Structure 1
């Protein structure tokens, strides 16, 4: 197989389930991609990430270009060999991190000059250099280079930024070239303005991409505004291509977005929350730091099959977290990633069987019931 193909197997309302087939393996959709910022999902071994049910990981172009460097990764066999992950990898373009992390940014039509947050060194990132860095990394799915305006912003600012991103999308497409077995995704922008989202989608479709992302959401606008955009934005994108909502999100964000036609997600939340003692369960978020867990012999979730729930009590997890033990990050991250992948499997099954509305209602009811009562 020398190209990436997307197949929709079933629909329920606007939701779809199917598979994105790549030379490195099949990605079942709707899919959640754990974030491996610096060629690692923090506190997890690659085989442990796979054991949770993940089909694909996300790597960060910005972080990897700064350290250890894309050329070094290429010399060492590419990102898959470097991090010991033999399944698909998606890399972002670096644009978001340049806007949010780098210092002394200077934005022009050509690209962005910035100083590294690591050592202050000056760098330049453009559509062409982003495509080259992602080629050196060897990722299976490459993201077009775009600008991410800081919100809130005026509609005029959002429109100007979106149109620059569309010009950069065309340059990204040209620079990407013909790479059998690899895919390039364009990124829809336009803030929370319907007309700008439609204009962006038309521009991207005219250029032609293997998949399409919905960018510029989950940046502080709130769930109601995000869902308002998702009520129409996915429908502007080609029906026969995967749709990827970048940087989302919380479990209820994902369920709502799947119901609105989104196929792919990524977010640091499950891994970052695991390291800070926030645990996702069917009954909502559990804060393992709370003293109520100190004497509790029960698992986090008696229905969960992850190692944290199978072999350890809330009391133990509370103890190792409070003690600053590394195993706390390992077990809580594993649990959170397992929970997210179980949620995605549940959504895929519900769509296939035409019972998504009932699944979503049950999901919401369980969360509303709250955590187990204290002993």
Structure 2
């Protein structure tokens, strides 16, 4: 098509079309996830975002291009492009679409082209749906020699589909061979491209993990805390919503290191962080624990007031004080010094807030103070801990 109308080789046209769709997908996907992260929305379900963006780009690209040629004798011209989009969605993005929905889309495609009454078009739709399903399951299944399986499937189903197109439009064998070879070459190039993309994404994920998470305790680190508190402080001031924070550090941590060794200290940090993270789950997914220093931790609690922060602080005190930590046959018991407070008018920036929470941080043998009152530190189980600040 492109060669006869514009003197551009079809292979080059297909490359530009497909690269355009991939670029569109990654641009929209990056834009959506960046916007959600900027608004502190939950982006943990990236698969849902990937599915919506991927299917939208595919539908717009396939049906949009087909509108250009549907009324001409060249309505077959974008067959390779359609097959590559199928592979892109099913194999590389691993988006599951039920077979009936793929078939329904194929029927819509036939209606668009005005060939619902053609038996070969129905055969093409059935093979297309089968190609999608098999490509998807091949992608998600762990098996040896993935490229050979991928390429074999691309040859078999691509060949069947192009043979159907050749019969439907009475194409010459030369045209069939040229188009089918171009399709296979593009399929190989696409496999290499996505393998490079996948490797780069894994590197980015590792860098992101190292930049935002503490390797020892597996909680977020100071860099992540610094970004989050800056955003939440601004958000709190702008929308007049509460923002609370808890700060605690492990008592006599240096003595633990000196007495039992640094591996014992590492064990203490890991166990305390894991126990506190478990306590904080009941306070919502936006409440997060950060390791901000050697033995210092912070908890940011958006949209929660001092009363809730005080309750959480008491739970942390009790949980850590009752936590047995076994190292080299010795059971260690640790305590924490803890402080909690809520943003108030005199906090002009996150550092003011941080310092004030730090000033409230008192050891276990003294009361924990907050902006609106006091929280008793942990006492023996026989003595009642007040429920209110």
Question: Which structure has more RCO (C-alpha within 8 Å, separation ≥ 6)?
Answer: 1
- Structure with greater proportional helix content: 2
TM-score (norm 2): 0.26
- Structure with greater proportional strand content: 1
Larger Rg: 2
